[in-house]
Amino acid sequence: MVRLNEIKMQDGKIFLITGANSGLGYETSKFLLERGATVIMCCRDLLKGEKAKKELLKFKFSGKIELVELDLSDLINVKKFAESIKNTFDHLDVLINNAGIMAPPKTLSKQGFEIQFAVNHLAHMFLTLELLPMLEEKNNSRVVTVTSGVQYFGKIQWEDLQGNLKYDRWASYAQSKLANVMFGLELDSKLKETNSKTSSLLAHPGFARTNLQPKSVEANQSWQEELAYKLMDPMFQSAKMGALPQITAATLTSASGGEQYGPRFNFRGFPKICRNAPKALNQTSRKKLWDISEKLIKDFDTLSKQSK
């Protein structure tokens, strides 16, 4: 079990966090700023981002905040964002793929992908691959991909990745969170093959109170879901506690590539190394998902270049 006093100061390090204006992203930003890091806070809504920044500045932390707009539902925006980061910073120490969407009604991204597969998995993979050269400028740099406990129940629908034939919002969410683990492990394998300075780790928050739950209830107008969350409320831990696994994966000196950190009791508690979803351990499946995802990204990238 990891305690906060094991985490060293982060002076001089640059962290980029997606979905940083609320929930786990906000608490992670707050922790890192307190320890002297420069935090690039990526937010889909700049107004909400400015509000979060204003709150954080009240603490007068020694770290620095860089607020930037990033819409993960649009790969064109992800590409432009990555180019802007490359032009502004000369390196990154840690990329935390934190942002996520949970169980909305059937919705498509700007490029026509099922929104959870697009935002939770595809956009973060694209962003990571775009920023990887910046990470490889530094020793012991890291990519931390945030998944969920539903990874253990997820299944990749190979014949219907986008839910075109049948859409189940919770099955699609679980699929995207399993995809996070498969991506994180496959990335680490590829990095190790090239003796990269960068490692890939995973984290999940357990049951943490964030804006994902009320957003899901609001989007689906589901009284059953709202009631379920009320009944389960005593089991939930704070967003501050839920952020500790990803903070640990991002900063703990002894953390290694391929490891996943989660709450001690799987749904709550201080972080420890936890098991990766068994379905993510199949190398053939991981490579298959990587190849499919890479092709979707490359096809988009090629088309966007031709349209210029």
pTM across the whole model = 0.91
Q: Amino acid identity, residue 217?
A: V
User: For position 306, what pLDDT does the model report?
Assistant: 52
When mean pLDDT is compared across 24-33, 153-162, 247-256, 259-268, the lowest value belongs to 259-268
SS3 content of the chain, % helix, strand, coil (to 5): 50, 15, 35
153 vs 15: CA distance, rounded Å: 31
Split at pLDDT 50, 70, 90, the class of 211 is: low
Could you give the angle at which helices 169-193 and 283-306 cross, rounded to 10 degrees?
90
Mean pLDDT, to the nearest integer, of 35-47? 97
Hunting for tokens 């906060």 — which residue is that?
4
Distance CA 240, CA 30 (A): 9
With vertex at residue 28, the alpha carbon angle to CA 289 and CA 142, rounded to the nearest 5 degrees, is 45
What's the mean pLDDT when you consider all of the chain? Answer: 90
Superfamily designation of domain 11-306: NAD(P)-binding Rossmann-like Domain (3.40.50.720)
Integer-rounded Cα radius of gyration of the chain: 18
pLDDT for residue 163 is more than 70: yes
Share of the chain above pLDDT 70, in %: 87
Mind giving me the DSSP string for 37-84?
-EEEEEESSHHHHHHHHHHHHTT--SSEEEEEE--TT-HHHHHHHHHH
Candidates 167, 173, 229, 261; catalytic one? 173
What 3-state DSSP class applies to 105? Answer: coil
224-249 pLDDT, tens digit per residue, is 555 444 544 445 588 899 999 999 99
User: What average pLDDT does the segment 121-127 reach?
Assistant: 98
More confident residue, 28 or 236: 28
Q: Are 172 and 104 in contact, with CB atoms under 8 Å apart?
A: no
- In whole angstroms, give the CA distance from residue 146 to residue 249: 10
Nearest to 16, CA basis, from 62, 75, 84 = 84
Question: 87-96, 116-125, 262-271, 276-285: lowest mean pLDDT where?
Answer: 262-271
Specify the pLDDT at position 219. Answer: 58
**What's the pLDDT band for 5 if we cut at 50, 70, 90?**
confident
Is 167 one of the catalytic residues? no
Residue 170 has pLDDT above 70, yes or no: yes
> Residue 218 — very low, low, confident or very high, per pLDDT cuts 50/70/90?
low
pLDDT confidence of 303, banded at 50, 70, 90?
Answer: low
CA distance 260 to 201: 6
The rounded percent of the chain whose pLDDT value lies above 90 is: 81
What integer pLDDT is reported at residue 91 of this predicted model? Answer: 96
